[in-house]
Amino acid sequence: MSTALIFSGQGAQSVGMGKDLAEKYPVCAELYAKADDVIGYELSKICFEGPDEELTKSNHCQPAIFVTSVACAKALEAESAAPEAIAMAGLSLGEWTALHMAGVLSFEDTVKVLEARGRFMQEACDEQAGGMVSIIGLAREQLDAICAETGVTVANLNSSAQTVLSGAKAGIEQAEALATEAGAKRAIILNVAGAFHSPLMASAATKLDEVLAGITFNEPTVPVLSNVKGEPHAGADAIRANMISQVTDSVLWLSCVEWLQAQGVDRYVECGPGKVLTGLIKRIAKGATLDNVNDVVSVEKALQSG
């Protein structure tokens, strides 16, 4: 069985995440303590106790999900049964987790980058009112026509059936109405702070570029799928450029999973809170073995299925 490790994106967070892992596994407790030191406040307390309004702030949420996702992977390693992954991938901020796990960035640098990335993205949201809408059941040509009419853009190509559009708030509201008129099975405006993965995030990309200039990027030990390319990163220099583009460009998740399928991957282990990615993969890679690792119980289940 060929395995890929995949990592959660923003929106998967929940108060209490990682708490039982930190209590059972010293290596996980050390990760949270290290993150607290790096970030300068008790990120661990926000993860374990909330409140929810603090955890959902992008500058807290992004490093919090990263640390929790790494803790999930390290819990598997602590049981001496971590799957040997032939590739890694993550959705949006989850791609940063994949890069760390593949040896591209240090733990400390990734925490710093994601705190800054979350802060910059929130600032961009505050600058311009934006939103996102998830659409199920329309063809790409129909979606392109909606984008052309409303001025919004494709943010996420999640599966052949599900696409997320992003843009100015008025354009998103218009896009929802047009998608419904066009016969979409579902068109739902998402509860997000702004227009992620769209040109409205340009200021965040510029600020992130400045931060990444001082970060060391190494060559990955295993292929890591690029959200913006839909195929593995070419190398350390390309990774830096791709991760800046990722802030404003479309996330090609469908292409990433199709690439993994072509390499013979038939088991996907999602590390981190939530089950969003395995839910998407279930619709793309039918028949694949899917595991979620997000707490002590799910670690035990993953060990059994592995």
pLDDT in tens, 92-112: 999 999 999 999 999 999 999
Highest mean pLDDT of the ranges 20-24, 58-62, 127-131 = 20-24
- Does the pLDDT of residue 164 top 90, yes or no? yes
What pLDDT shows up at residue 43? 97
The pLDDT tens digits of the residues spanning 78-89 come to: 987 677 899 999
What mean pLDDT comes out for the span 219-237? 96
**Residue 49 CA: distances (Å) to CA of 36, 42, 172, 215, 273:** 14, 11, 34, 31, 15
User: Distance between CA 69 and CA 147 in Å, rounded?
Assistant: 34
What pLDDT shows up at residue 83? 77
DSSP H or E stretch at residue 87: strand 85-90
Give catalytic residues, as residue numbers: 92, 197
Pairing verdict, β 153-157 and 2-7: unpaired
- Does the pLDDT of residue 229 top 80, yes or no? yes
CATH superfamily entry for domain 2-126+199-247+265-305 = Malonyl-Coenzyme A Acyl Carrier Protein, domain 2 (3.40.366.10)
Task: Give the CATH architecture of domain 129-189.
Answer: 2-Layer Sandwich (3.30)
**pTM across the whole model:** 0.95
Pairing verdict, β 2-7 and 85-90: parallel
- Residue ranges per structural domain of the chain: 2-126+199-247+265-305, 129-189
Highest mean pLDDT of the ranges 81-85, 120-124, 283-287 = 120-124
